């Protein structure tokens, strides 16, 4: 076994032993692709998600929403997920190549998309379809590849088909009208949502990398495609990003994001800007900047909705893993929902710089004549006349109505009407830039990058989880030097006081030698350990030990929670 695999096993078993990440439902045998966050991991995840939400909402034009995970089928039909996820696959028995069954029979059927698996198998057999890879004609039966968990809304047969959402994004699109009102009809604006997404993976592998139920965090940023946003790239003027463009577009380069946008390596400046903001987030929660790269999707691998997509990949025990997808989705989703529902509220209003005035003369039916003459068709006649610029053909003339019939218009049935109006703008479909984060994958890499076994002394074998304080599950360990002479009472009081402070969590540990307790705290990444000794009883001061180097200072106990809250302990060493 390689060293890397051995390290991975030690990390995994530590995560399980210390209650960070554990296989779910284990007493019932476990289920691949489902994990629990334990007493330590649960808080780590919460801190990570909170950091993420704060990172985006601090921008000022982004709000948080939350929508159901159960999603009616029609939503996912409109979004394309049902079509995309419902394909049948055929596998070649000879070379194990897997192909979409409908593509295999595309030449043999006008609309293979609608065929059942039996029909597909029959067509493949009839036409002796060859495997595109190896030429064999021996196929396994077509099987559906729907990766969504289905369910029903409502009991019994009357229930409506629904799916567990495969992404959170649709919730933001459903709420577009509410967001548009909230932001007083002004683009750009965005919404974030964090929560669970579901994919019924055929065979989940690689631990936290491919899950059946996973934590997502997605941002939809709505922009006017006609307006070039001036993004401020100055925070990253000396930060070189590792960029791996689509091979058709160029070689991997290191470049600051502003330049990459300017030189069109990244095609859209807003995409570049979100890539930069994403980089900053990842680094702020403890991802090693050396292990981040951005890779552009190739045309063939692009999701069905995306027009340009860059993945943030993080390097860890499983190699380079896609952890964030930043996609320019164009107007795909809003348009899809608009045409599926006919809803008129999925657009934004763009005022013209100079209002367009309309000044024309058209024909206008005379109601008192047309009404009796055409009765039920009168309305259509009015509409058709209104489209004819004055003076129009000389009467009598034939007029085509939009219901296909033709009527004869006599003089006196209409008059000329002068129309003068001003158009101040137009309705358009906003475009969307979507950064979508796989929280579990990021969390995994935080742990992976923080897991330090370099040890101290000769024997090595000392584990420290070097988590950033902002994501550390526990802020501080409270350790009485010994559990006697009143040290334990004082320690317990401090512990309870810290825990009562908003956003702070401590834990009390009085068992084992002081060194063992430091080691336990280090292993789950507690950044600070407070030790209460006899001097504490007399002077009201305690020692603060820094996880990363064991250095200690002594501070008054009543300053503890304020120092922890303000994160200024670091500067006191």
Which range binds RNA by CB under 7 A, 30-38, 45-53, 117-125, 375-383? 30-38
Which range binds RNA by CB under 7 A, 67-75, 111-119, 366-374, 545-553? 545-553
For residue 407, the Cα-to-chain-centroid distance in whole angstroms is: 57
Give the long-range contacts of residues 146-155, CB within 8 A, separation 24 or more.
146/85, 146/86, 146/200, 147/85, 147/199, 147/200, 147/201, 148/76, 148/81, 148/82, 148/85, 148/198, 148/199, 148/200, 149/198, 149/200, 151/70, 153/70, 153/72
**Does 142 help bind RNA (rule: CB under 7 A)?**
no
**Does 71 help bind RNA (rule: CB under 7 A)?**
no
**Does 461 help bind RNA (rule: CB under 7 A)?**
yes
Give me the 156-195 binding string for RNA, x by CB under 7 A, dash otherwise: ----------xx----------------------------
The smaller minimum CB distance to RNA, of residues 67 and 531, is found at 531
Residue 324 buriedness (CB in 10 A; 0-12 / 13-18 / 19+): buried
CB 382 within 8 A of CB 365: yes
**Does 298 help bind RNA (rule: CB under 7 A)?**
no
The smaller minimum CB distance to RNA, of residues 19 and 392, is found at 19
Which range binds RNA by CB under 7 A, 67-75, 92-100, 183-191, 249-257? 92-100
φ, ψ at 546 (rounded to 5°): -90, 125
**Does 425 help bind RNA (rule: CB under 7 A)?**
no
Return d(Cα 350, Cα 380) in angstroms, integer.
31
Give 503's contacts (C-beta < 8 A, 6+ positions apart): 565
DSSP 3-state of 392: coil
Residue 554 Cβ, how far from RNA at the closest point, in Å? 8
Which range binds RNA by CB under 7 A, 8-16, 56-64, 222-230, 329-337? 8-16
**Does 98 help bind RNA (rule: CB under 7 A)?**
yes
**Does 495 help bind RNA (rule: CB under 7 A)?**
no
Residues 110-129 that bind RNA (CB under 7 A): none
The smaller minimum CB distance to RNA, of residues 145 and 362, is found at 145
Give 323's contacts (C-beta < 8 A, 6+ positions apart): 282, 311, 312, 313, 314, 437, 438, 441, 442, 445
CA dihedral of 556, 558, 562, 564, whole degrees rounded to 10: 60
| Unique residue bearing structure tokens 């003369």 | 361
DSSP bridge pairs for 436: 218, 325
- Where do runs of H (alpha helix) occur along 298-386? 332-341, 367-374, 378-386
The smaller minimum CB distance to RNA, of residues 319 and 393, is found at 319
Residue of 205, 209, 77, 211 whose CA lies nearest to 150: 77
Give the long-range contacts of residues 32-36, CB within 8 A, separation 24 or more.
32/203, 32/204, 32/205, 32/212, 33/201, 33/204, 33/210, 33/211, 33/212, 33/213, 34/211, 34/212, 34/213, 35/207, 35/208, 35/211, 35/440
Question: Pairing relation of β-strands 406-409 and 476-480?
Answer: unpaired
Return d(Cα 418, Cα 410) in angstroms, integer.
20
Task: Kindly state the number of chain residues that form the binding site for RNA, as judged by CB under 7 A.
Answer: 68
Q: What angle do CA 509, 513, 516 make, to 5 degrees?
A: 75
**Does 203 help bind RNA (rule: CB under 7 A)?**
yes
- Among positions 244, 514, 555, 557, the unique one binding RNA when judged by CB under 7 A: 514
Return d(Cα 573, Cα 569) in angstroms, integer.
7
- Among positions 152, 462, 501, 557, the unique one binding RNA when judged by CB under 7 A: 462
- Among positions 53, 63, 94, 145, the unique one binding RNA when judged by CB under 7 A: 145
**Does 483 help bind RNA (rule: CB under 7 A)?**
yes
- Among positions 264, 339, 552, 562, the unique one binding RNA when judged by CB under 7 A: 552
Residue 156 Cβ, how far from RNA at the closest point, in Å? 28
Residue 407 Cβ, how far from RNA at the closest point, in Å? 52
**Does 488 help bind RNA (rule: CB under 7 A)?**
no
**Does 469 help bind RNA (rule: CB under 7 A)?**
no
| Unique residue bearing structure tokens 């077509």 | 142
Q: What angle do CA 445, 447, 453 make, to 5 degrees?
A: 120
- Among positions 41, 112, 197, 330, the unique one binding RNA when judged by CB under 7 A: 197
- Among positions 13, 108, 116, 136, the unique one binding RNA when judged by CB under 7 A: 13
**Does 553 help bind RNA (rule: CB under 7 A)?**
no
**Does 515 help bind RNA (rule: CB under 7 A)?**
yes
**Does 136 help bind RNA (rule: CB under 7 A)?**
no
Q: What angle do CA 486, 492, 497 make, to 5 degrees?
A: 130
- Among positions 139, 294, 310, 518, the unique one binding RNA when judged by CB under 7 A: 518
- Among positions 388, 429, 499, 519, the unique one binding RNA when judged by CB under 7 A: 519
CA distance to 415, 437, 529, per residue, from 411 (Å): 9, 68, 97
Which range binds RNA by CB under 7 A, 28-36, 335-343, 397-405, 421-429? 28-36
**Does 202 help bind RNA (rule: CB under 7 A)?**
yes
**Does 436 help bind RNA (rule: CB under 7 A)?**
yes
The smaller minimum CB distance to RNA, of residues 413 and 491, is found at 491
Residues within the interface to RNA (CB under 7 A): 9, 12-13, 16-17, 23, 29-33, 84, 89, 91, 96-98, 140, 145, 166-167, 197, 199, 201-207, 210, 214, 216, 301-304, 306, 325, 436, 438, 456, 461-463, 481-484, 511-516, 518-520, 523, 531, 533-534, 542-543, 545, 550-552
């Amino acid at each position: 076994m390689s060293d890397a695999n051995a390290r991975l096993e030690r990390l995994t078993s530590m995560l399980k032993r210390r209650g960070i990440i554990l296989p779910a439902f284990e007493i019932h045998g476990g289920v691949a692709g489902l994990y629990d966050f334990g007493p330590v991991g649960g808080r780590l995840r919460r801190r990570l998600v909170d950091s993420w939400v704060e990172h985006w909402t601090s921008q000022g034009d982004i709000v948080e929403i939350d929508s159901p995970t159960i999603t009616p089928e029609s939503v996912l039909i409109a979004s394309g997920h049902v079509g995309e996820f419902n394909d049948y696959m055929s596998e070649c028995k000879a070379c194990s190549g897997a192909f979409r069954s409908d593509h295999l029979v595309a030449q043999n059927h006008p609309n293979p998309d609608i065929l059942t698996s039996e029909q597909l198998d029959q067509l493949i057999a009839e036409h002796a379809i060859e495997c595109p890879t190896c030429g064999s004609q021996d196929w396994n039966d077509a099987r559906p590849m729907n990766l969504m968990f289905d369910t029903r809304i409502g009991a019994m047969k009357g229930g409506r088909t629904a799916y567990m959402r495969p992404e959170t994004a649709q919730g933001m699109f459903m709420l577009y009208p509410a967001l548009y009102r909230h932001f007083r009809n002004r683009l750009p604006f965005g919404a974030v949502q964090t929560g669970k997404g579901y994919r019924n993976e055929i065979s989940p592998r690689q631990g936290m990398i491919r899950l059946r139920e996973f934590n997502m965090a997605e941002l939809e940023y709505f922009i006017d495609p006609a307006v070039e946003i001036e993004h401020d790239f100055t925070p990253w003027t000396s930060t070189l990003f590792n960029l791996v463009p689509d091979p058709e577009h160029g070689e991997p380069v290191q470049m600051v994001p502003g330049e990459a946008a300017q030189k069109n390596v990244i095609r859209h400046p807003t995409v570049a800007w979100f890539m930069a903001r994403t980089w900053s987030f990842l680094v702020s929660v403890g991802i090693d900047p050396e292990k981040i790269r951005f890779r552009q999707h190739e045309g063939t691998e692009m999701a069905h909705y995306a027009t340009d997509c860059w993945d943030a990949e993080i390097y860890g025990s499983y190699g380079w893993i896609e952890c964030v997808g930043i996609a320019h989705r164009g107007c795909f989703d809003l348009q899809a929902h608009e045409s599926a529902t006919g809803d008129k509220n999925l657009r934004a209003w763009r005022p013209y710089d100079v209002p367009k005035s309309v000044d024309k003369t058209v024909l206008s039916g005379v109601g008192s004549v047309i009404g009796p003459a055409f009765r039920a068709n009168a309305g259509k006649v009015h509409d058709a006349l209104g489209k004819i610029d004055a003076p129009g053909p000389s009467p009598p003339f034939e007029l085509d109505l939009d219901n296909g019939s033709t009527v004869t218009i006599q003089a006196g049935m209409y008059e000329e009407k002068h129309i003068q109006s001003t158009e101040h703008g137009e309705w358009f479909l906003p475009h969307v830039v979507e950064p979508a984060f796989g929280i579990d994958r990021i969390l995994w890499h935080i742990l992976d990058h923080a897991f330090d076994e370099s040890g101290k002394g000769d024997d090595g074998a000392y584990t420290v989880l070097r988590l950033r304080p902002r994501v550390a599950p526990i802020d501080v360990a409270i350790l009485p030097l010994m559990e006697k002479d009143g040290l334990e009472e004082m320690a317990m009081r401090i512990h309870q006081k810290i825990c009562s402070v908003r956003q702070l969590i401590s834990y009390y540990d009085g068992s084992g030698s002081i060194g063992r307790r430091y080691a336990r705290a280090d292993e789950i990444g507690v950044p600070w350990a407070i030790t209460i000794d006899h001097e504490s009883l007399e002077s009201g001061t305690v020692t603060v030990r820094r996880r990363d180097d064991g250095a200690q200072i002594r501070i008054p106990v009543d300053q503890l929670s304020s120092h922890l809250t303000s994160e200024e302990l670091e500067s006191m060493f």
